Structure 1
């Protein structure tokens, strides 16, 4: 079976746990980015590596937003001055602005969710459902019907990974694109967890 010309990267902010939400950050955010593999391999990755080489001398730098904002740990070099910070942030912004990607994001207010429903779905499952259905429409429009699509998540703890596995397998969007039941492949041993969403069957749409 042919692989898709596109790949999906997913990451989150906040926790999907509904009990005792943090009043200063009561939301859960799931963000999925769809990008053509050719653009990812030939444009985005080389540009990002060049930025890292020119900034810190190697390409092992992980762009953690919190560390960048606080100018700490690997990003302590940003304390050198306003010009250094401005130049670094401008180059990152330029990379984002010039990258041809499709973004599907879900922001869920956990307090409101718990107040509205007696037995609410997990915020992760809701966010995943929304993002994958949005990307499904895009993939069909891009002519990816019948191709195998991979969705990569940042690796987390074992319990969190199992919870994600359940949400992924339960997603109606996933069932619509061919992965009925458990994901067809998974690898949680590295820096990312990889799920194969399955082939998009002919005539498939995320709309019911």
Structure 2
């Protein structure tokens, strides 16, 4: 039986981290879209991976326990996140309904600051990020011993870097599929529906 203090904890962390990060959501949809347009991919990937690293380390440091005793904070983040997601859903729906905005060469004109701000908002205004990354992963990691938890963190952070890099830079392999405006219309329509469902679900859970 492997000790919880050996490097095998890194593999556990990698698996757990990947299973939580890969689930399709607002953040992944945004990274995919940026990757397809090849717009500010590096800073977007860096922001998402660094944010995950901060949250994972916060959970392992015990902040997850404190967060569990602050329901009002979770409620605030939930409301803010719902408003943001619903607003983003409206903008995505407008893009899907206006064919002239769907040409691939028009998708990469946004500023780097706007793209980074969007990535930060999609990460930090999502209450599920705190529950999954800080509370859940923190509790799993802290159950693997003093040394094992840091190996677990290293594995989980590595999973985040690998996933967002693959999503952001691998999206260009789908470029031929999105050579037609209708493909962008479908993508933006799906993003709009996803953001709306996520936003509504946050309000329902209040």
> TM-score w.r.t. structure 1 length?
0.27
| Greater percentage in strand | 1
| Greater percentage in helix | 2
> TM-score w.r.t. structure 2 length?
0.27
